[in-house]
Amino acid sequence: MAKHETPLLDQLESGPWPSFVSDMKLEAESRAKNVNNVEFQIPQDVIEDLMGVLELSYKDAETHWKHGGIVGVFGYGGGVIGRYCDQPEKFPGVAHFHTMRVNQPSGHFYSTDFLRQLCDLWEFRGSGLTNMHGATGDIIFLGTTTPQLEEIFYEMTHKLNQDLGGSGSNLRTPSDCIGAARCEYACYDTQDLCTYLTQEYQDELHRPAFPYKFKFKFDGCPNCCVASIARADMSFIGTWKDDIRVDQDAVKGYVNGEFPPNGGSHSGRDWGPFDIQKEVIDLCPTQCMKYENSKLEINNKECTRCMHCINVMPRALRPGKQTGCSILVGAKAPILDGAQMGSLLLPFVEVNKENDYQEVKDVIESIWDWWMEEGKNRERLGELMKRQGFQKLLEVTGVDPIPQHVSEPRHNPYIFWKEEEVQGGWERDINEFRKHHQR
Amino acid sequence: MALDYEESKQKIIGGLQKKSKSKSKFYFSDLAKILDAKPREAKKIVTQMINEGILEFWSSGSTSMYGLKGAGKQSAAEHENE
């Protein structure tokens, strides 16, 4: 019989979706049976107590967790989040139930062998419960006690070649899309850039000195599979400078029904024959395409890189060859001021591994210097940009204002001339002026 | 010019002790203000103080703070010092 009655949790299992309650019960049962004779380092019935405290929270309609604390591994200011239960006598198994964030491999590539080793370690020294993956992308280990933290950290760093991720006022674990490894749309090597910057900024990742969290996310193309434009203080979105590459024969192939549109992803139902006018040309947001006399024409100057036509006809259309990334800044979820999307700072940056991504690092570091000095406590970059203005951001990064910084004409006229930028300054000889201009 | 470590350390310890009646956890910016230094310079001092075990990190999960090791109710309440 279960250690605690959990009627409210049981009810959750009756819904149509796979239930985390069923997962917890499975793990509780597995720990109770312990067929592998694991020498559990935290209470064997930790999951029962976890379910017990959750049931109580549902009953009381309030949480029984306290969060935060001084737990961590030596020298690291992030990666471990202290969790304590405020009913430790009733639920001793979860009196300490700390979370560990594990830096996920770039692109979430790992072998089953590596996953097994991680899970074995966590079964042995933690609750066995994981969250694959957290919102930032980390592998999350849910629930262990304070004495286990250093042990787990030692095992991970010495045997699994694996580091903790970021939490608190740190650079958070950088996260990227699957990139050039498996995706033909990738305009730069997201995994290389993500891994490189993770290594380069270890100090920022582990020793908190920022006003608040800071996130990098890397998308290989404007499809934005990791949603960097909405979630990262700094997003790096792959793009191209030249023209979309068109294979006219393949376009005809789509029109003649030889290839399924969208790579066959809508093949579960008969949508009728492919209509290039309706499904591609008319849906182009800048209306920069036409299909006449069996030929597709694109006015590339007007293209906003929405990716729609490429997604529909991947065999016929490909991003250009001169590729790099756009850098956007200031996106965040709605803690203060509501949700904010990233603002375009640099429309095109070469992503050059040869010089260790120097152009990218210069932008990053100038932004950090500004935010670390001017940012208020718990103020995200996007909020500082709103408070001090986009013009200030351009100043600190040394970027010249360009039309792409304006979202609509006359909508955000944030660029103001300064005296030193105007020939002759603000002072002028009014008599000289009046000679040529009547009152 | 690089900050003198011993001098900066005493400044931080003194600064935090002075306020210890009202609070035990401080933002990084509070420490930089005590040192009157640029964040990157201050960080070097603070990191060394952490490594020497004079300061300790405190984290809510989303925000990080610093305190003198063992100071404040948090650690006692968590039975970390027992």
The interface predicted TM-score (ipTM) is 0.89
> What mean pLDDT comes out for the span A386-399?
92
Residue A272 C-beta-side C-alpha neighbours within 13 Å = 4
- The residue among B47, B51, B54 whose CA lies nearest residue B15 is B54
How far is residue A215's CA from residue A168's CA, in Å, rounded to a whole number? 11
A67 touches chain B (CB under 8 A): yes
* A8-28 confidence digits (pLDDT tens): 999 999 999 999 999 999 999
**Residue for token pair 């300790």:** B56
Give dist(CA A134, CA A128) in Å, integer. 16
Residue A128 has pLDDT above 50, yes or no: yes
Contact B62 A77 (CB under 8 A): no
Residue in chain A lying closest to B62 (CA): A168
Please, what are the domains in chain B?
Answer: 5-77 (1.10.10.10)
As to burial, measured by CB atoms within 10 angstroms (0-12 exposed, 13-18 middle, 19+ buried), residue A158 is: exposed
Q: In a 3-state reduction of DSSP, which class is residue A238?
A: strand
The structural domains of chain A, ordered by start, are 7-159 (3.30.70.2500), 175-235+330-421 (3.30.413.10), 245-318 (3.30.70.20)
Strands A289-292 and A129-132, by their bridges, are: unpaired
Percentage with pLDDT > 90 across chain A: 85
Is residue A64 predicted with pLDDT exceeding 70?
yes
The pLDDT assigned to A413 comes to: 57
Tell if the CB–CB gap between A68 and B61 is shorter than 8 Å.
yes
Give the percent of chain A with pLDDT over 70: 98
CA A318/CA A189 separation, integer angstroms = 17
Mean pLDDT of chain A: 94
Q: How many CB pairs under 8 A join A and B?
A: 88
Record: contact A207-B27, CB cut-off 8 A = no
Mean pLDDT of the region A303-319: 97
* H-only helix segments in A160-189: none
The tens digit of pLDDT for each residue in B36-45 reads 999 999 999 9
A397 touches chain B (CB under 8 A): no
d(Cα A127, Cα A145) in Å, to the nearest integer?
A: 9
If you ran DSSP here, which 8-state letter would residue A357 be given?
Answer: T
- CA dist., res. B79 & res. A294, Å (int): 76
- Of all residues in chain B, the one with the smallest CA distance to A72 is B57
In chain A, residues with a C-beta closer than 8 Å to the C-beta of B42 are 209
Q: Which of A67, A169, A203 sits opposite B28 (nearest CB)?
A: A169
**Contact: B50, A207; criterion CB under 8 Å:** yes
**pLDDT (0 to 100) of residue A411:** 65
Per DSSP, the three-state class of A401 is coil
Q: Residue A405, preceding bond cis, omega within 30 degrees?
A: no
Distance from CA of A95 to the nearest CA of B (A): 10
Best of B49, B59, B60, B78 to substitute, by most chain A Cβ atoms within 10 angstroms, is B59
Mean pLDDT, rounded, for A409-418 = 70
- pLDDT in the model for residue B74: 54
Name A174's Cβ contacts closer than 8 Å, sequence gap at least 6: A194, A197, A198, A215, A216, A217, A218
Provide mean pLDDT across the span A306-313: 97
CA distance to A199, A232, A240, A360, A404, per residue, from A216 (Å): 13, 5, 20, 12, 22
